[in-house]
């Protein structure tokens, strides 16, 4: 089945849209004529993204200050999206964080919880409130992309909390794939290695040797737009 990259405009919800991969993907998809619903905890980042898009796109994008770690915050975001009549065709659960390099017994409990709250609970909160909206709106070929990692399929020293969270995303995606109605799809997507703040946290200065979020977004946008119900339950890599 052909994807919809060459078809009409899609509405795409991207979490963690303020910086890094989320921002780059939002800009790339908007430049291709798609409508973006974006959320971030930083109003400043949302404002700068909004102004960057207003000069290059006439689409009616919707940017919301929301914290995916909070079920109530995501519930409110879903209500605003429904009120705005912009139920997404595609969701990209991108918001994520990583622990500072440390052995698991040296990672503070609060830091471990922060990784789990954002990467796992944040994704689950979005699924909880947006899958019903997509089903009710009878979204044809609705696609959910849960951002995973190479470390969601292997282990690495000093980032055990992050590895655990991304292994959880892989399992969550596989299970939800069996629960979705026919015609919808959820995938776990490993973005690859990209020069972001999170990579700098692990790799230090050598992070600059890797591709930029902007270069990544060119490939990622095409791949995401070409996903179909046949991809349901897949673990993919950009």
Mean pLDDT by 10 residues, the chain (238 residues): 58 97 97 96 96 74 97 98 96 98 98 98 98 94 97 97 98 98 97 90 90 96 98 98
CA-nearest of 101, 177, 189, 115 to 150 is 189
- Give the integer Cα–Cα distance in Å for 67 and 77: 9
218/221 Cα distance (integer angstroms): 6
| Structural domains of the chain in order of their starting residue, each with its CATH number | 11-222 (3.40.50.720)
β-partners of residue 211 are 194
The torsion angles phi and psi of 104, rounded to 5 degrees, stand at -55, -35
Cβ within 8 Å of residue 102, ≥6 positions away: 158
pLDDT of residue 20: 96
Q: How many residues does the chain have?
A: 238
Read off the tokens for 138: 């009878």
- Confidence (pTM): 0.95
Residue 85: its pLDDT value, please? Answer: 93
The CA-based angle 238-88-144, given to 5 degrees, is 35
Residues classed as catalytic:
162
Q: How far apart (Å, rounded) are the C-alpha atoms in residues 162 and 217? A: 22
């Amino acid at each position: 089945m052909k994807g919809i990259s060459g078809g009409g405009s899609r509405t795409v919800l991207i979490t963690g849209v303020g910086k890094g991969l989320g921002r780059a993907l939002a800009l790339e998809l908007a430049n291709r004529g798609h409508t973006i619903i974006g959320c971030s905890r930083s109003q400043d980042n949302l404002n700068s993204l909004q102004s960057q898009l207003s000069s290059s796109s006439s689409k009616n994008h919707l940017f919301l200050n929301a914290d995916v770690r909070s079920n109530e915050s995501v519930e409110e975001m879903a209500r605003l999206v429904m009120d705005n009549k912009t139920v997404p065709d595609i969701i990209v659960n991108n918001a994520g964080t990583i622990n500072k390099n440390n052995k698991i017994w040296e990672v503070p409990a609060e830091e471990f919880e922060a990784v789990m709250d954002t990467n796992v609970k944040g994704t689950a909160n979005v699924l909880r409130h947006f899958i019903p909206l997509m089903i009710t709106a009878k979204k044809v070929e609705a696609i959910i992309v849960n951002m995973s990692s190479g470390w969601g399929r292997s282990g690495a020293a000093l980032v055990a909390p992050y590895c655990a969270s991304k292994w959880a995303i892989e399992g969550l995606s596989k299970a939800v794939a069996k629960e979705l109605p026919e015609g919808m799809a959820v995938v776990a997507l490993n973005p690859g290695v990209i020069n972001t703040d999170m990579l700098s946290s692990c790799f230090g200065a050598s992070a600059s040797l890797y591709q930029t979020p902007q270069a990544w977004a060119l490939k990622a946008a095409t791949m995401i737009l070409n996903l179909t119900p046949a991809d349901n339950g897949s673990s993919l890599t950009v």
